[in-house]
Amino acid sequence: NTVTDYDPDEIERKISISSAVCFCEWKDHKVNIVDTPGYSNFLWDTKASLRAVDAALVFVCGVAAVEVGTEKVWEMLEEHSLPRMIVINKLDRENANFGRTLDAVQQFFGRQAIPVELPIGEEKNFAGVVDLIEKKAFLFEKDESGKMSEGPVPAAMAEEVDRRSKELIEMVAESDEKLMEKYLEQGELSPDEFRGGLKRAILGHQLFPVFAASGLTNVGAQPLLDGMIAYLPSPVERDGVKAVVKGQDQAIQPSPDGPFSALVFKTISDPYTGRISLMRIFSGRMNPDGTVTNSSRDTDEKFVGLFFLQGKEQISAGQAKAGDIAATAKLKVTSTGDSLCAKGAGIAFAPIIFPLPSISFAIEPKTRADEDRISQATHRIIEEDPTVRIERDPDTAQLLISGNGELHVRIITERLRKRYNVDVDLKPPKISYKETIKGKADVQGRHKKQTGGRGQFGDVWIKMEPLARGKDFEFED
């Protein structure tokens, strides 16, 4: 979170509010990472980010185990059919317990969540991991440097390691009929058969390998990265991405040699740099400047500048290609969810569907100056966060702000103040009560006035009854 939770609100509240992108290089591979929020108010951003990735790591706390956010994210991952790995993290904490957390994980996500590592030591003595595939131990320095050394499996763990390792082999065999036959015939699988089977089962989301780690004390990162490289799909290993090409359904093959196509999955609206569009490139290459087509809006878009993001830091890129997550600034017409492609290629990906807001407040600008600035500021906020709505209620004339929860709305109003110098009060919205006729009634009213001269007399009969819902009103004379 030190690189990706860079927003002052994230630092202050110690939670991720917005997805952020970073990358690392590991053994000749580039790993693009989108760090997504886990708190329910901000999961819309997590969902949009899933369109940009090929696999997911689900972090589960070794104390709190499966939380509401974990279950919600899991549902999204199922919906997007993404391969995933599970990391039981924070194993250094008091009361952390790998076995108990694993039980909870399996209870929610099935026995397909299968450990490929076991922790060595518990709580503050959590010192490393045993790799159940290689049957090796990796021990980490106590100084949190992350320095690692390899050694034999500790004798006290040998029995459990054998048992868990056998379970893993059986699960891999079960995931594939041919492997099962071999396993039953030979009583074992060769290392190649096993690794190939494990990778296929992970890619097909039949198995979810479970790792052990502590981010804080820097234990377990290298074996996890090795596992990611070995068992998660590289961009070219994923299936073609569904798209509409010139009106026809087609799968876009993830090749750098195809025509350029990308999906803008996020927009950052920075008061200083302006608008930054983050995109996942699905095919082809992108150079630092040029003209592409925004196929969602059927218009050309010029861009100048291409960079990779390391948290908030922009690193200029000479070229980006299929598989990359790249960014460019100051696009004119493009917003989150739009598809970009090479001119004439006509490639459009499905738009990103955002949830409707669940809570509304009335916002009242504090001064006349705040009122003057609010419209432009809210425009910038919505650019970045398409789940926020700001509109006037025609019945009460109040300006309403709607979002995905109270925290979400509060953070937006803080942003209005800090970034755009617009001070507002939040109030509960007025409710405009509406009347309807629910029952039947016959009423009569009589008017009589006789004060000399001509008298007045009126006799009114009214019959009222409801029409079917949605049929509006009908007057019969």
Ligand X SMILES: Nc1nc2c(ncn2[C@@H]2O[C@H](COP(=O)(O)OP(=O)(O)OP(=O)(O)O)[C@@H](O)[C@H]2O)c(=O)[nH]1
Q: List interacting residues with ligand X (CB under 6 A).
A: 1, 14-16, 37-39, 59, 89-90, 92-93, 214-216
For residues 161, 163, 167 and 168, what is the CA-based torsion angle, rounded to 10 degrees?
A: 10
Vertex 43 angle, CA 427 and 86, to 5°: 150
**Phi-psi sector, 284: left (phi>0), alpha (psi -120 to 50), beta:** left
Vertex 368 angle, CA 384 and 407, to 5°: 40
> 84 contacts which partner out of Mg ion, ligand X, none, CB within 5 to 8 A by kind?
none
Vertex 241 angle, CA 240 and 242, to 5°: 115
Q: How far is the CB of 238 from Mg ion (least distance, A)?
A: 25
Please list every residue from 97 through 116 that binds Mg ion, using CB under 5 A.
none
> 19 contacts which partner out of ligand X, Mg ion, none, CB within 5 to 8 A by kind?
none
The count of chain residues that interact with Mg ion, using the rule CB under 5 A, is 1
Q: How far is the CB of 337 from ligand X (least distance, A)?
A: 22
Q: How far is the CB of 353 from Mg ion (least distance, A)?
A: 23
Residue 173 exposed, middle or buried by CB count within 10 Å (0-12, 13-18, 19+)? buried
> 14 contacts which partner out of Mg ion, ligand X, none, CB within 5 to 8 A by kind?
ligand X
Residue 205's closest CA among 230, 231, 224? 231
> 59 contacts which partner out of ligand X, Mg ion, none, CB within 5 to 8 A by kind?
ligand X
Residue 70 found at the interface with Mg ion (CB under 5 A): no
> 70 contacts which partner out of Mg ion, ligand X, none, CB within 5 to 8 A by kind?
none
Residue number with the smallest Cβ distance to ligand X:
38
Residue with tokens 């994980």: 105
Vertex 267 angle, CA 262 and 270, to 5°: 140
Bridge-partner residues for 35, per DSSP?
A: 20
> 368 contacts which partner out of Mg ion, ligand X, none, CB within 5 to 8 A by kind?
none
> 216 contacts which partner out of ligand X, Mg ion, none, CB within 5 to 8 A by kind?
ligand X
Q: Is 1 or 250 the residue whose CB approaches Mg ion more closely? A: 1
Q: Is 16 or 413 the residue whose CB approaches Mg ion more closely? A: 16
Q: Is 145 or 444 the residue whose CB approaches ligand X more closely? A: 145
Q: Is 49 or 261 the residue whose CB approaches Mg ion more closely? A: 49
Q: How far is the CB of 16 from ligand X (least distance, A)?
A: 3
Query: What mask, x for binding Mg ion by CB under 5 A, covers residues 14 to 53?
Result: --x-------------------------------------
Contact call for residues 209 and 231 (beta carbons, < 8 A): yes
Indicate the residue type of 357. Answer: P
CA distance 174 to 164: 15
> 18 contacts which partner out of Mg ion, ligand X, none, CB within 5 to 8 A by kind?
none
Q: How far is the CB of 422 from ligand X (least distance, A)?
A: 26
Query: In sequence order, which residues have a C-beta less than 8 Å from that of residue 343 and are 6 or more positions away?
Result: 291, 292, 293, 300
Between strands 84-89 and 56-61, the pairing is parallel
Q: How far is the CB of 39 from ligand X (least distance, A)?
A: 5
Contact call for residues 404 and 412 (beta carbons, < 8 A): no
Q: Is 58 or 161 the residue whose CB approaches ligand X more closely? A: 58
Q: Is 92 or 122 the residue whose CB approaches ligand X more closely? A: 92
Q: Would you give the DSSP letter of residue 214?
A: B
Q: How far is the CB of 5 from Mg ion (least distance, A)?
A: 6
For residues 69, 71, 73 and 74, what is the CA-based torsion angle, rounded to 10 degrees?
A: 160
The strand ranges marked E within 317-470 are 320-321, 325-329, 339-341, 347-348, 359-365, 389-392, 399-403, 424-427, 441-449, 456-464
Q: How far is the CB of 74 from ligand X (least distance, A)?
A: 14
Q: Is 216 or 304 the residue whose CB approaches ligand X more closely? A: 216
Q: Is 197 or 220 the residue whose CB approaches ligand X more closely? A: 220
For 153, the token pair is 């499996």
> 199 contacts which partner out of ligand X, Mg ion, none, CB within 5 to 8 A by kind?
none
Q: Is 10 or 370 the residue whose CB approaches ligand X more closely? A: 10
Q: Which residues bind Mg ion (CB under 5 A)?
A: 16
